[in-house]
Copies of this chain bind each other. A is one copy, B any other.
Amino acid sequence: MANQIFFGTFVHTPALDTIEYLHDTIVAVEATGVILTIEELPPIGRHNPAAWIRTTLIPSLGWAADTKITATRPGQFFFPGFIDTHLHASQYPNVGIFGKSTLLDWLNKYTFPLEASLCDLAKARRVYGRCIRKTLSHGTTTAAYYATVDVPATNLLADLCLQAGQRALVGRVCMDQHAFSPDYYRDETPEEAETATRACMDHIAHIDPNHTLLRPVLTPRFAPSCTGDLLGRLGRLHKEGNWPIQTHISENRNEIALVKDLFKDIVPPSAGEEDGLPSYAGVYDHFGLLTPQTILAHGVHLTEAEASLIRDRGSKVSHCPCSNSAITSGAARVRWLLDRGIEVGLGTDMSGGYSPSILEAARLASLVSRHVAMGGDDAAKLSVEEVLFLGTVGGAHVVGMGDRLGMFRPGFLWDAQLIGLGMVDANGNTDVTSGFADETTGTEDDPTLGVEDGNVDVFGWETWEDRIAKWLFNGDDRNTKKVWVNGRLVHDRAAIAARQRAAAKAVPENAISA
């Protein structure tokens, strides 16, 4: 890794209701991946930015003369990498396959059988490899993954994340509650679950000792699939190293009833709950699992008392609108959570959610907030900048890296994406120059320029606000031209397309030919 310069337009959401457009801006990134400075190009450099950067800026930094410069073309912009705060890498092959199921039957019918099958490491490699590549291509620079119960397969997921360069929290799934976990897929005892969890933590400590990209995350699947003994062990394990925790909460009404039933004789009644039973949040809190390092997925049906408890403990919520709509869990009240002081990020929750994209999660967060607003609370609506904030800065706070990720700021890490939108020409075609380029393409432009146009059409009269709205609502992985994590280029559409074209030449003749 070497020092790098990024130049052009940068867009980010430094606060929930704020979106910033930084034009003619230079971001200097150190070889460690840390942003050293962000500054506007001075007027004297405007007529030839690259020359000014080379002859003035780079020498002043004491950096090598051949320091790489990556620039946005007109209309392109750099955006912080997306943070997916909740997804099951092991369920990736099932995206879109859920029929009319809801949570508990969905788990038994679709999910447990697939997860169990991933103890086959060749299958796990195929599934995890594709999941990582797919989410990277959608601009996900950090992912909070659930793997499976299986230790070798979970370790493989960690290996593959490191290899691909995706920042990740990797969690081995703990589930020892025989009443709900199937015979063919569970931890037989709390001891076994703890031992297996420690084995995965040790593996990550071994392959990424400084936790540059990877952190282990304690992963009790959800209260219905865990005994109190196991939850207590994980709560104590958390304290050993302030380890992150991830689990599910209050996704579905039947699930909530099941939790109350399973824990009513184990956990005392929670304060503020009218039914005199422990609340879902109360169960986690009882076992020391509601911490500032805790990611709670869903939180659709939380009570006021639970929201207060979660806020007091500093735990975070991962909002998964795609999943909540698809498997009919409910419409989470994000404004309500934010108003109560709870930090919220976005999760794809594959495969409860069908989409691998946090951009689509942001889009659906916008729609779901409007469905909440249809109930009468107009303030529930989330704006473009708010859902993009949730997908970046919000997510960074949820995964415990709000001081290093989610926006462009000195001292933060260069986890970023280069976004390009299609430009419509006078005849209604997209402009072939609307691809991307950087200085490394040298004197001859990349031949893949303009091969794809994507689904975002810019006519030219749009404001920057309009362009960002168009990207939010119609953008996809075609608009994510390049992705960097920790300063390293980890996804490059042009390079992939070139490799695919080269490989395609070897394809056999059309089978139908007579």
Q: Which residues of A contact B (CB under 8 A)?
A: 7, 48-51, 53-54, 69, 71, 73-74, 92-93, 95-100, 122, 125-134, 325-328, 330-331, 354-356, 364, 366-367, 370-371, 373-374, 381, 383-384, 424-429, 432-433, 435, 437-439, 441-445, 447-453, 455-457, 459, 461-462, 466, 469-474, 476-477, 497, 500-501, 503-505, 507-514
Contacts and interface: CB of A to CB of B under 8 A. Distances in A.
B325 A449 contact: no
Nearest to A94: B466
A199 to B, nearest CB: 24
B7 A469 contact: no
Contacts of A433: 507-508
A326 B130 contact: no
Nearest to A472: B96
A507 B445 contact: yes
10 contacts: A93-B457, A93-B461, A126-B424, A134-B457, A331-B374, A433-B508, A435-B504, A437-B512, A439-B512, A447-B504
B511 A450 contact: no
A178 B438 CA distance: 54
A353 to B, nearest CB: 9
Given A93-B459, A99-B383, A432-B504, A510 B127 contact: no
Contact of A133 (B96, B355, B428, B444): B428
Contacts of A384: 99
Contact of A510 (B100, B331, B371, B438): B438
B326 A370 contact: yes
Given A93-B457, A373-B328, A514-B51, A504 B426 contact: no
Contacts of A125: 427-428
Nearest to A493: B452
A429 B134 CA distance: 10
A426 B122 contact: yes
Contact of A371 (B93, B331, B445, B500): B331
Most buried by B among A93, A99, A473, A510: A510
B354 A504 contact: no
A432 B438 CA distance: 27
B355 A501 contact: no
Most buried by B among A73, A132, A370: A370
Contact of A451 (B438, B444, B501): B501
Contacts of A367: 325-326, 364, 367
Scoring A328, A366, A477 by chain B CB atoms within 10 A of each residue's CB, the highest score goes to A328
Task: List the 10 closest A-B pairs by CB distance, nearest first.
Answer: A129-B428, A96-B473, A50-B514, A71-B512, A130-B428, A354-B473, A450-B504, A96-B470, A437-B510, A325-B367
Contacts of A366: 326
A500 B432 contact: yes
Nearest to A131: B428
A497 B374 CA distance: 43
Contacts of A54: 514
B355 A474 contact: yes
Contacts of A381: 100, 328
Contacts of A497: 451-452
Contacts of A457: 92-93, 95, 130, 134
A366 B432 CA distance: 36
A126 B504 contact: no
Nearest to A466: B97
Contacts of A507: 432-433, 435, 445, 449-450
Given A354-B474, A473-B354, A452 B449 contact: no
B477 A455 contact: yes
B513 A50 contact: yes
A365 to B, nearest CB: 12
Given A435-B504, A504-B450, A513-B50, A473 B424 contact: no
A503 B450 CA distance: 8
